[in-house]
Amino acid sequence: MNQLRTQHTGVYSGLVVAGLFLFFAALGPGLYGHTGAGDFGWQHALFDSVCHQDPDRSFYLNGTLMAVCARCIGIYTCFMIGVLIIPVVDYFVPQSKTVMVKVLVAVVLSNFIDVAGNFFGVWTNTLNSRFLLGSLLGLSAALILTNTFFFNTKIGVTKWTMNTW
């Protein structure tokens, strides 16, 4: 029988709170009833230092510009989802650090190539393609923390090991 052992639960709780806060703040003022393009809120000021917030490269929610661009909303959405599913991943398909680091590096490079290709006119990326690549980045950044807060242990094996020892 499998069992999920935990550690650093305080840090994981903080990570969940941070992930949820970033996601809901990134959605912008349109989330709670503000309507109309051009409406600004504290969310835009908050993300000003970490996102270009170009209106042509951002989604709208309830007719209001989100606080971050399409790539960044993909990052924050899937980072939040990734953080929430860490226990599930650790229970069913635990991943090694080496594999997840390789995945993260590949996804970061993909985003660089996408930005460079668009900048130099090799191709034109879209809101959806930016969102998709951002989503992969957010998800892989969260899932690199698998095997950190939760560990899948087999109770039978643990008991046998302890008795033997």
Partner 1 sequence: MDNEYMVDETPSYWPSVLVAGIITGIIFSVVGLIGSYTTIGGSTTMATVSGIAACLLGALGGIIVNWHYAKENDITYTIGKGALLGFLTAVLAIVISTVIGQLWTLIIDPDLNQALYNAQIDNYEAQGMTQDQIDMALQFSPKPGTSTYLLVQVGMGLLMMGIVNAITGLIGAKIFASEE
Q: Which residues bind partner 1 (CB under 8 A)?
A: 8, 10-11, 14-15, 18, 21-22, 36-42, 44-55, 57, 72, 79, 96-98, 101, 104, 115, 119, 141, 144-145, 148
Sorted by sequence, the CB contacts under 8 Å of residue 62 that are 6+ apart come out as 30, 31, 33, 34, 35
Q: Report the nearest approach of partner 1 to the CB of residue 78 (Å).
A: 14
SS3 at position 65: strand
Q: Enter the DSSP assignment of 4.
A: E
| Nearer to partner 1 (CB atom), residue 7 or residue 155 | 7
Nearer to partner 1, 57 or 91 (CB): 57
CA atoms of 85 and 139, how far apart (whole Å): 10
Helices H / strands E in the chain, number of each: 6, 4
Q: What are phi and psi of 4, to 5 degrees?
A: -100, 110
Per the CB < 8 A criterion, the answer to whether 39 and 60 are in contact is no
Least distance to partner 1, CB of residue 8, Å: 6
With respect to partner 1, which residue has the nearer C-beta, 34 or 91? 34
**Shortest Å, Cβ 69 to partner 1:** 8
Tell the smallest beta-carbon distance from residue 24 to partner 1 (Å): 13
Closest to partner 1 by CB, 102 vs 159, is 102
DSSP letter assigned to residue 93: S
